[in-house]
Amino acid sequence: MHTSSRLTVRALSGLLLAVALALTGCTASGDGDSGGDAKGASAADHAAGPQGPEDADGAQSGKSAKRKPSKLTGPQIIRTARLTVRVGDVPKALEEARAAAEDAGGTVGNESTSRDDEGRERSRLVLRVPQEKYEDVLTALEGTGKLVDRDAKAQDVTAQVIDVESRVKSQRASVARVRELMDRATKLSDVVTLEGELSTRQADLESLLAQRASLRDRTAMATITLSLTEHQGQTDAGDDDPTFGDALGGGWDVFVTGLRWIVIALAAVLPFAAVAALLLLLWLRVVLPRHGRGAP
């Protein structure tokens, strides 16, 4: 009887130990699966990040990006301007324009210089300046000479910026989901299909990132196209009061112009005068003597 009790205790102890081992195995298995899922999600989030230096948010995971969404600080405006300024010294004005842009923290883009048929120098350059220095640079450029033309434009792209940001986040999540499905796929056909879908979504994401980078650049930096033309003389005729030399030169121009018109008029009348002189000579030499002989 005592032996039977011992057997019963041993059987119960073995059963309890088996149950405990079974429960421990299930718990470990669950923890392993959770760790694998976390690693897969982390890899997917990392792979869904940007592929270039232009994306500063790529180091953050998808969950971090959701916790800290980018917020716009104000209206997003694209500013552009075109200025035409007449100056006495084009190279000097170019140096002043470059200095104004660089002092404001901007850059100088395309630049071209040419001469017209009258030998006057013309230059055109594109300046990129920060938005907060836009008006100051415009004022400085207008002061380099006589302002001939100004065309300034401002385009509000706040809605477009918000839309692109939202589409970038959605496309990142889409790429992450496809990568997660690829990690779980076991059939070769599924892997091939998912690779094609991943390439398409990754291309769409890169296109959206390029659009976002372009919008950020154009809203952060204003574009100013400056055209410089050289005066015909040292100063404009309308900038200073007329001098004695100006009056003398104007009178000489009027005299030469009038003389030219007189010569043109004489040249036009000359053929008719020649015909009239010839007719008069014939009258005096031929017709008039005959009439004089017939009269007596």
| Domain-located, residue 89 | yes
Average pLDDT (240-266) is: 77
pLDDT at site 241: 57
Summarised one tens digit per residue, pLDDT across range 102-131 is 999 999 888 888 887 777 888 999 999 999
The whole domain housing 190 covers: 77-234
| Domain-located, residue 100 | yes
| Domain-located, residue 260 | no
Summarised one tens digit per residue, pLDDT across range 1-48 is 444 445 454 554 444 444 443 443 343 333 433 333 333 333 333 333
Specify the number of domains making up the chain: 1
Average pLDDT (85-92) is: 90
| Domain-located, residue 110 | yes
Query: What is the DSSP pairing of strand 121-130 with strand 107-115?
Result: antiparallel
What pTM does this model have? 0.51
In 3D space, the residue among 180, 205, 227, 188 whose CA is nearest the CA of residue 86 turns out to be: 227
pLDDT at site 280: 84
| Domain-located, residue 42 | no
pLDDT at site 221: 92
Which segments of the chain does DSSP mark as H helices, in order? 2-47, 62-67, 90-103, 134-142, 158-184, 188-220, 244-282, 288-294
pLDDT at site 259: 85
Give the residue with greater pLDDT, 149 vs 6. Answer: 149
In 3D space, the residue among 107, 96, 118 whose CA is nearest the CA of residue 228 turns out to be: 96
pLDDT at site 236: 46
| Domain-located, residue 62 | no
| Domain-located, residue 7 | no
| Domain-located, residue 181 | yes
